[in-house]
């Protein structure tokens, strides 16, 4: 089993679980080599690291396909989302690469990731059935310690989101509008929800509930940080009312129950 019963219950209540060695370190090293070349920067010359964050677009195939399709990860997707309820990926989404730098990166606000972007629009949306997103995934392609800009996550914050989406129907809400609404209610950076950080080793993956509130942070260390944060795309939409629902669905129901 990829996940113990305790880890699964932790995912429901905390909103995330770390999968150590979800893919081989050698694959992470190969991917990082490709990504360094794409940045055009020199891994051995910090003078070339002139910006706090560089974002690269999606990469697929080769080592990227290997990283996202290990049996260990597929078993974990089955355990959290349900067998047959997710779409296999052959690549990864955007890569925010963070460098030690005195400037604020300017993109470190609390938010949840959008599920989908409607045709012809720029703003992403989030719905109660989490259209377009079964999981938020954080793939570590470098070792990430407390100083090297680990992603911050608000433990249990995914349980606060469903109440804001319950009356919004299939089209849900625009993601930034939802964040503003939650902020006004004191639930975006909620004092009652402690922060944790996605530290770990190259090859680890954090599987997170699609509604988990998270944020980047400035890099205060020495070694540039490489992660990817692709969605796991659902096959169909989640059903919070499903009998024997998946852990992702159970968490939505727990949030709606007001007992979270
Ligand atoms: O870089 C990170 O740690 C997280 C970035 C993020 O949350 C985002 O781009 O949506």
pLDDT tens, residue by residue, 123-158: 999 999 999 999 999 999 999 999 999 999 999 999
In this structure, what token pair is assigned to residue 208? 């997170």
- Rounded to the nearest integer, the mean pLDDT of the chain is 96
In this structure, the residues whose C-beta lies within 6 A of any atom of ligand 1 are: 96, 113, 151, 214, 216, 229
Decide: pTM greater than 0.95: yes
The residue whose CA is least distant from atom 2 of ligand 1 is 216
Q: Return the number of other C-beta atoms located less than 10 Å from residue 105's C-beta.
A: 17
Task: Spell 5-31 as b/e; 16+ CB within 10 A means b.
Answer: eebbebbbebbbbbbeebbeeebbebb
- Which atom of ligand 1 has the smallest separation from the CA of 217? 3
- Per-residue pLDDT at 237: 86
- Residue 260: pLDDT band by 50, 70, 90 thresholds? low
CATH fold of 5-257, please? Jelly Rolls (2.60.120)
* Contact criterion met (CB below 8 Å) for 158 and 260: no
- Per-residue pLDDT at 58: 87
- Per-residue pLDDT at 107: 96
Please check the confidence at residue 196 and state whether its pLDDT lies above 90: yes
Q: Which of 112, 224, 229 to mutate to test the pocket of ligand 1 (most atoms within 8 A of CB)?
A: 229
- Which atom of ligand 1 has the smallest separation from the CA of 94? 9
Q: Where are the domains of the chain?
A: 5-257
Q: Is 103 helix (H, G, I), strand (E, B) or coil?
A: coil
Q: Which of 107, 110, 195, 196 to mutate to test the pocket of ligand 1 (most atoms within 8 A of CB)?
A: 107
Task: Please give the average per-residue pLDDT across 74-92, as a whole number.
Answer: 96
- Residue 223: pLDDT band by 50, 70, 90 thresholds? very high
- Per-residue pLDDT at 187: 97
């Amino acid at each position: 089993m990829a996940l113990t019963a305790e880890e699964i219950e932790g995912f429901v209540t905390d909103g995330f679980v770390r999968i150590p060695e979800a893919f081989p370190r050698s694959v992470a090293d190969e991917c990082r080599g490709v990504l360094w070349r794409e940045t055009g920067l020199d891994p051995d010359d910090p003078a070339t690291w002139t910006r706090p964050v560089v974002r690269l677009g999606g990469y697929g195939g080769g080592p990227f396909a290997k990283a996202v399709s290990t049996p260990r990860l597929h078993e974990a997707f089955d355990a959290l989302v349900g067998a047959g309820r997710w779409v296999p990926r052959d690549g990864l989404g955007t890569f925010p690469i963070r460098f030690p730098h005195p400037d604020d990166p300017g993109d470190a606000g609390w938010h949840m990731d959008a599920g989908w972007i409607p045709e012809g629009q720029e703003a992403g949306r989030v719905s109660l059935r989490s259209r377009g997103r079964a999981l938020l995934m954080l793939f570590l392609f470098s070792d990430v310690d407390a100083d090297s800009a680990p992603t911050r996550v608000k433990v249990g914050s995914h349980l606060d989101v469903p109440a804001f989406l319950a009356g919004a129907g299939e089209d849900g809400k625009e993601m930034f509008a939802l964040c503003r609404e939650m902020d006004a209610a004191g639930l975006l950076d909620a004092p009652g929800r402690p922060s944790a950080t996605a530290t770990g080793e190259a090859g680890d993956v954090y599987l997170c509930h699609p509604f988990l509130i998270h944020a980047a942070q400035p890099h205060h260390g020495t070694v540039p940080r490489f992660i990817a944060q692709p969605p796991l795309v659902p096959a169909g939409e989640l059903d919070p009312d499903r009998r024997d629902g998946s852990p992702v669905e159970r968490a939505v129901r727990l949030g709606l129950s007001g007992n979270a």
